[in-house]
Amino acid sequence: MYDDQPVQPADMSKRLSALAANMATLRHDIESGQLTLDPEAGKQIRDMLAKQIDQVDGWLEQARGLARRAPLGENPVGHAMAGKFEQRAGGEGTSFAAVFSSYRQVLQDTDDTVGEAMRLYRETEDRTSDTFKKLAN
């Protein structure tokens, strides 16, 4: 993963699909009450996610800026290459913009999931605290 070989957009798309599936499992565990998250740890995670989302937003802006036809000449090869570059930057599927958009969505879903886990932790803490107060009286 961290070798000198560049990651191809199609490979990144597959990795994002796997990550999204993992997030769905995590969300299920949280929604079923099997997993909660201490708010302090959750805040640290959410801060890291916010920084990553900001960075991805910058990448998306750059990719969208590249998604235009480059002036490569008025000939068949120039037109073909300009179209190819435009699609690779801003097209559908495995273009840079599409992959970055998918990655940003996974980050946002992760942030939402962390927020939900923190909320459930607080609810559990409140119920436990109420129970102890009732026992003490």
Task: Please give the mean pLDDT across all residues of the chain.
Answer: 83
Does residue 107 lie in a domain region?
Answer: yes
12 confidence band (pLDDT: 50, 70, 90): confident
* pLDDT category of residue 48 using cuts at 50, 70 and 90: very high
Rounded to an integer, the average pLDDT of 42-51 is 94
Q: Is residue 124 part of a domain?
A: yes
Question: Is 5 inside any structural domain?
Answer: no
Query: Is 1 domain-assigned?
Result: no
pLDDT for residue 112 is more than 90: yes
Q: Which domain holds residue 116?
A: 38-136
If one counts the domains in the chain, the total is 1
The closest alpha carbon to 114, from 22, 4, 27, 54, belongs to 27
Residue 3 is assigned to a structural domain of this protein:
no
Whether residue 56 contacts residue 104, with contact meaning beta carbons closer than 8 Å, is answered with yes
